[in-house]
Structure 1
Amino acid sequence: MRRTDPEGHGPVRYGPVLPGDGLPVLPELTAVLSAAADRTVQGPVGGGTDLRDAACGYWTRRGLPTAPDRVAAAPGAPALLVALTAALGGDVLVPRPCAAWWAPYARLLGRPAFHVATPAECGGVPDPYALLETVRRVRAEGGDPRLLVLSVADDPTATVAPPEVLHETVEAAAAEGLHLVSDETWRDTVHTPQATMLLSPAEMLPGRVTVVSDLAGALLPTGWPAAVARFPAGDGGEALHARVLDVLTALDARVAEPVAAAAAYALGEPGPVTARRAASVALHARVARAAHSAVVGAGGLARPPQAGRHLYADLGPLRSALAARGVGDAQELEDFLTSRLGTAAPGGHRFGDDLGALRVRLSTGHLLGGDEEGADLLASARPWELPRVQRALISLTSVLDDLRDDAQRREPPR
């Protein structure tokens, strides 16, 4: 198929954004931000006392006791990852696929980013044996792997790493002397928390794990950039924290004071915030299940979604039907589905996957219609049955079913 906008392909600036929740901003958050709108003095690099104290409480409630002098805040998780990568030095290891924003920041600093295959059970965490082999190969070729970035609740695959798989990977990383950055942006969006055990690598290897969380995952709108990092205790964690603050200072990467006030309020998890989060997670879980059924029903492949606001689909089994439409790789699949669905559908190559693989991330937020139209979602007892949500799901199902029917017609007679 002909690409009508060649400039919109490939460069980092055209990469996929963090999936939004498709809901209007929580009024209590708006009130807090508005009340702080007259704060004209810049806050300190790394975050003020209120924000860092709130982050400590947030992590302590999750079994990770934290001191304020081991916390740093920044305007979004990418700034923290840039600072951590610069502070730690060496080469970077990431799973394949991984969040779209991880690898570009290593390359920005002139550091190689090596992708490692994930196990069959989940994404977000490298297979431990593949990790060991990759580390040894990189060192044999003169590289210096020091940093492993992983995610227990993953974007893009929407899976949660089982504790036993995570433990094996953490042990392998520890044996090779790697520092781990655990991106826990989506940990509070697990669809069935009562049936899904989520553990942080910081619980398993407390001295060598820095936890990073972008608050746009579950607490703030995506347009209010704020993220927090939790550093290990001990001298190593103290030195790393200091180096990261140096980098953030050089970048002048400060959280805007009104956003910092809203972030501190959200991290405190008052009733309105937790109620909205629960409603949002339940809504996206329901829509993700419907999207998963559409993909699998059409003959595609996808792990059942367990967290987040997205679904990672493999349409490889429909390759013959897609080829007839001029689709032969992930970029062309992105173009095709974005055009047919009317919403962004980033191909797997955006997440470090093979260009030739016909994989794509589908966002449940886009199926809901967008933030501006989200008020009725909150007012409805069964928001997934609203006409516009049903129309979006029917559109997705129709596109996929057309591909399935075409693929079946193209199968050779038996």
Structure 2
Amino acid sequence: MRTDPEGHGPVRFGPPLPDDGLPVLPELAGVLAAAASRAGPEPVGAGPALLDAARGYGERRGLPAAPGRTALAPGAPALLTALTAALDGDVLVPRPCAAWWAPSVRLLGRPVFHVPTPAESGGVPDPYALLETVRRMRAEGRAPRLLVLSVADDPTATVAPPELLHETLEAAAGEGLHLISDETWRDTLHDRHGTVLLSPAEMLPDRVTVVTDLAGSLLPPGWPAAVARFPAGEEGRALHARVLDVLTALDARVAAPVAAAAGYALSEPEPVTARVAAAVRVHARVAAAAHRAVVAAGALARPPQCGRHLYVDLSPLAPALAAHGVGDAQELEDLLTGRLGMPAAGGHRFGDDLETPRVRLCTAPLLGDTPEERAECLEADEPEELPRVGRALNRVTSVLDGLRDDARRWESSR
């Protein structure tokens, strides 16, 4: 929402994580229902069974955690708030970045310093821009301490190449920064064989805390649970203890029924892995179709590589937008949300400049209007060809084509 409901000032809070739009997995719902009668609270940071499941999940991804180096909280924002509170100093993030990062930091009265990302991907700052930003901050008497990044990125839906990640981590380590790697979307790669994803924790095991919101691929967003994996060594031990102190002060516990469902999902039985794979396939195909539509209409967007969204830059259509009274990202959000009949969050919500006409479009609203319609997408070989999905994609094409035609008319009348 805006700081001033009548103006277009700084955004205080952003949109939620993109939903998958699909019915809850029946086996997952059954586990939650069976645990609904649990009256006792889950321990702060999670109990032994849930911690074991979380460690196993990490180990299968090449990220083993020593005992006492894992904690869970009711959502990733709670973990980032606790981590920021536990680490003194200023926080750096890429531009753009996930919409929930900055509010979690600003809640503690800390400023957020944005660092540009390179042209090919989002989520990981350009290493030279990072070094320059840190230099300027120190010259101004600031104390840069923490860098938050995401290799599989929301909002840009891109995956940072390993060579860029290596250069950025080398720069961050040289400046003594601790890193938080948001790996919420790591299990949603659209092409697992053609996309290489490396965790920063594989490169800097003693300096990286990994945070994963389970709403990325394993749990519905209404069942909040997130995992933090802390570094080995004394620094990781101390950070884990300080984060648990903050979570205790906030009484930030995963609800017992959600903890049961999270433990089941993190253990990755066949029904869970099959659903994750099916959901990724559906959203990958629909995202690719949406990308073709927006590019054909003259807008700019990197090809989506992960997640359930894509990030669209409508700068080439600026003349038409101006003719419609659109002068910033908030006005673009208002226009497209109304015309598309679905959320189109402006880029300013992700730390981009308000004046730049960018939006994040999510694929879930394109899948259908009812749970039954959306569930049918899971069984379709080509979900983007289903009639209702095709109509939704055609609406995107029609709206953007209309803006492109308006831009051409505006140019020809000059």
What is the TM-score of this pair, normalised by structure 1?
0.96
Measured against aligned partners, the alpha-carbon deviations of 1:219-267 in whole angstroms (never above 9, x if no partner) come to 0001110000000001000000000000000000000010001001101
Which residue of structure 1 lines up, in the alignment, with residue 390 of structure 2?
Answer: 390
1:177 aligned onto 2:185: no
Measured against aligned partners, the alpha-carbon deviations of 1:274-328 in whole angstroms (never above 9, x if no partner) come to 1111111011011111111111101111111000000000000000011111111
The answer to whether the 8 A contact 1:166-1:201 is kept is yes
Letter in 1 for 2:49: D
Which residue of structure 1 lines up, in the alignment, with residue 216 of structure 2?
Answer: 217
The answer to whether the 8 A contact 2:285-2:382 is kept is no
How many angstroms does 1:383 deviate by? 2.4
The answer to whether the 8 A contact 1:212-1:229 is kept is yes
Which residue of structure 2 lines up, in the alignment, with residue 295 of structure 1?
Answer: 294
Which residue of structure 2 lines up, in the alignment, with residue 402 of structure 1?
Answer: 402
Distance 1:160 1:125 in 2: 9
How many angstroms does 1:369 deviate by? 2.9
Distance 1:246 1:6 in 2: 36
Alignment map for 1:85-164 (pairs within 5 Å): 85-164=84-163
How many angstroms does 1:395 deviate by? 0.3
1:272 aligned onto 2:276: no
Distance 1:157 1:400 in 2: 19
Measured against aligned partners, the alpha-carbon deviations of 1:43-62 in whole angstroms (never above 9, x if no partner) come to 10001111111111111011
Measured against aligned partners, the alpha-carbon deviations of 1:72-126 in whole angstroms (never above 9, x if no partner) come to 1000000000000000021100000000010112111111110000011210000
Distance 1:215 1:113 in 2: 25
How many angstroms does 1:404 deviate by? 1.0
Measured against aligned partners, the alpha-carbon deviations of 1:165-194 in whole angstroms (never above 9, x if no partner) come to 000000000000000000000000000010
1:202 aligned onto 2:225: no
Distance 1:313 1:58 in 2: 33
How many angstroms does 1:370 deviate by? 5.4
Which residue of structure 1 lines up, in the alignment, with residue 328 of structure 2?
Answer: 329
Distance 1:8 1:343 in 2: 22
Which residue of structure 2 lines up, in the alignment, with residue 376 of structure 1?
Answer: 376
What is the TM-score of this pair, normalised by structure 2?
0.96
1:234 aligned onto 2:233: yes
Measured against aligned partners, the alpha-carbon deviations of 1:104-157 in whole angstroms (never above 9, x if no partner) come to 121111111100000112100000000000001001101111000000000000
Alignment map for 1:327-366 (pairs within 5 Å): 327-366=326-365
The answer to whether the 8 A contact 1:90-1:144 is kept is yes
The answer to whether the 8 A contact 1:22-1:371 is kept is no
* 3-state SS in 2 of match to 1:69: coil
Letter in 1 for 2:16: V
Distance 1:230 1:170 in 2: 18
The answer to whether the 8 A contact 1:56-1:66 is kept is yes
The answer to whether the 8 A contact 2:344-2:361 is kept is yes
Letter in 1 for 2:401: D
Gaps of 5+ in 1: none
Distance 2:125 2:261 in 1: 35
Pairwise CA RMSD of aligned residues? 1.7
How many angstroms does 1:410 deviate by? 2.1
Distance 2:54 2:391 in 1: 40
Distance 2:208 2:339 in 1: 42
Which residue of structure 2 lines up, in the alignment, with residue 63 of structure 1?
Answer: 62
| Larger deviation, residues 374-383 vs 193-202 | 374-383
Letter in 1 for 2:227: V
The answer to whether the 8 A contact 1:32-1:265 is kept is yes
C-alpha spacing 1:59/1:27, structure 2 compared with 1 (3 Å): same
Percent identical residues: 76
Which residue of structure 2 lines up, in the alignment, with residue 43 of structure 1?
Answer: 42
Distance 1:60 1:136 in 2: 37
The answer to whether the 8 A contact 2:285-2:383 is kept is no
How many angstroms does 1:375 deviate by? 2.3
How many angstroms does 1:6 deviate by? 4.0
Letter in 1 for 2:375: A
Distance 2:278 2:183 in 1: 20
The answer to whether the 8 A contact 1:93-1:149 is kept is yes
Measured against aligned partners, the alpha-carbon deviations of 1:354-396 in whole angstroms (never above 9, x if no partner) come to 0000000000111113573422223434322222111110000
Distance 2:395 2:7 in 1: 24
C-alpha spacing 1:192/1:351, structure 2 compared with 1 (3 Å): same
1:190 aligned onto 2:186: no
Number of residue pairs the alignment of both structures matches? 411
Distance 1:194 1:370 in 2: 32
Letter in 2 for 1:54: A
C-alpha spacing 1:84/1:371, structure 2 compared with 1 (3 Å): farther
1:15 aligned onto 2:4: no
Letter in 2 for 1:254: R
